[in-house]
Structure 1
Amino acid sequence: MQYKLITIEGNIGAGKTTLAKILSERLHGRLILESFEDNPFLPKFYKEPEKYSFPLELFFMAERFKQLQHSVNGPDLFHDTTISDYVFIKSLLFAKVTLAEDEYKLYKRLFHIINKQLPNPDILIYLHVPIQKLQKNIQTRDRSYEQSIPDEYLQKIQNTYLEYLKQSDQKVLFVEAENADFLTDSKHVDLILDALSKDYSPGKHYLQLS
């Protein structure tokens, strides 16, 4: 595998963690999963977003940085490839949606200070899933605090990701994953593994899963 650090991104409910786990097994790679359930502000945020958005995003950024700094920058004698179900800039993208303008400006300054200490992924896999399918996935996984996420919030997150990818100069595998079923349909995973065997130029490269 030519890509040593592979990150998977996408909206809430897109299937990031499921794909990361399967790829780590197939590639015998080190797996980094976001510990989102450790954030004590998450259930509170969904009930009172304006009150809890800033501590929520600060906690996420601090925990993501600590995890990535320890895992990605540290040596690993047993794995040549690392797969993560998030990329650090996710912190800034979500903050752009959730924070007030003055809070976002402060958050952005802090983000750029610590972002310099982390390596960029060799390739980013973005799972693009329509909002209604995301909602279906969210209902299926049945996390109580997620059950009332409005379509409008998911759409804002989606738009923010797409705008970021439009201007990004990194290597991106943009996967149309509306029909993806990574758990029961191995051909979808095989298609992604085949795509990862190619050497891409910087920019977006599309893969349709059907």
Structure 2
Amino acid sequence: MNYKYITIEGNIGAGKTTLANKLAEHYNARIILEEFAENPFLPLFYEKPQQYAFPLELFFMAERYKQLKDMLQAQDLFSNLVISDYLFIKSLLFAKINLKEEEYNLYQKLFEIINPQLPQPDLLIFLNAPVTKLQQNIKTRNRSYEQQIADEYLVSVHDMYMQYIRQHPIRTLMIDTTKTDFLKNPADFDSLLNALEKEYEPGIHYL
């Protein structure tokens, strides 16, 4: 496989971290997982979104930047495979949904200062899941602050990701998670491994 930096993305509850861990184990790759549990504003945001959205998104952006910056400075970046379970642009996409216009404009200025300093993935794996499956996964993993996430919010997140992927020439492997189970079905995981052996042009490709 020629890819050196693979990112897995998808909606809340899509299974990003699960797949990232499985791929990293298979390839003996370095893994970068989002440290969402370290964000003290996350439970507060779900209770009072308007009050806590801005510090929530600032904290996430700072933490994601630090993680990815450390990866960029690592000497073995281009010799060993790196797998992450988030895109840095995620910061801006969620900010667009959660912040008021004046807050978003300030946030966007900060984002545009630091984004060019970070590496972009060679390949994006996007896990596309319907809201019913997302809600099922959210309930199964049982994080208390997530249990009241509205369907409408998940739809907004999905639409924002789709808009970004369609408008930017990022090399993307789109996976319908209603037809795959990488954890329980070895054949599904093997099909993904085979797909990762192929070279893709920028744009959306379907597994």
TM-score (norm 1): 0.96
Quote the residue 2:128 is aligned against: 128
Q: Which amino acid aligns with 1:51?
A: Q
Q: 1:163-174 to 2 correspondence within 5 Å?
A: 163-174=163-174
Structure 1 distance, partners of 2:170, 2:16, is 19
Q: Which amino acid aligns with 2:26?
A: R
1:190 Cα deviation from its structure 2 partner: 1.3
Structure 1: tracts of 5 or more residues without a match: none
Q: 1:100-119 to 2 correspondence within 5 Å?
A: 100-119=100-119
Structure 2 distance, partners of 1:72, 1:180, is 32
Does residue 179 (structure 1) correspond to residue 179 (structure 2)? The answer is yes
Q: Which amino acid aligns with 2:36?
A: F
Q: Provide closer, same or farther for how the CA distance between residues 197 and 101 of structure 1 changes in structure 2, counting only shifts above 3 A.
A: same
CA contact (8 A) 2:138 2:146 kept: yes
CA contact (8 A) 1:30 1:79 kept: no
> SS of the residue aligned with 1:72?
helix
> SS of the residue aligned with 1:125?
strand
Quote the residue 2:156 is aligned against: 156
CA contact (8 A) 1:14 1:128 kept: yes
Deviations 1:56-78 (A, max 9, x none): 00000000000110023311389
Quote the residue 1:37 is aligned against: 37
Deviations 1:102-123 (A, max 9, x none): 1111111100100011011000
Q: 1:17-56 to 2 correspondence within 5 Å?
A: 17-56=17-56
Q: Which amino acid aligns with 1:138?
A: I
1:184 Cα deviation from its structure 2 partner: 1.5
Moved more, 76-85 or 55-64: 76-85
Q: Which amino acid aligns with 2:2?
A: Q
CA contact (8 A) 1:174 1:204 kept: yes
Q: Which amino acid aligns with 2:86?
A: Y
Q: Provide closer, same or farther for how the CA distance between residues 77 and 151 of structure 1 changes in structure 2, counting only shifts above 3 A.
A: closer
TM-score (norm 2): 0.97
RMSD: 1.3
Structure 2 distance, partners of 1:48, 1:110, is 24
1:191 Cα deviation from its structure 2 partner: 1.4
Q: Provide closer, same or farther for how the CA distance between residues 36 and 79 of structure 1 changes in structure 2, counting only shifts above 3 A.
A: farther
Quote the residue 1:76 is aligned against: 76
1:48 Cα deviation from its structure 2 partner: 0.4
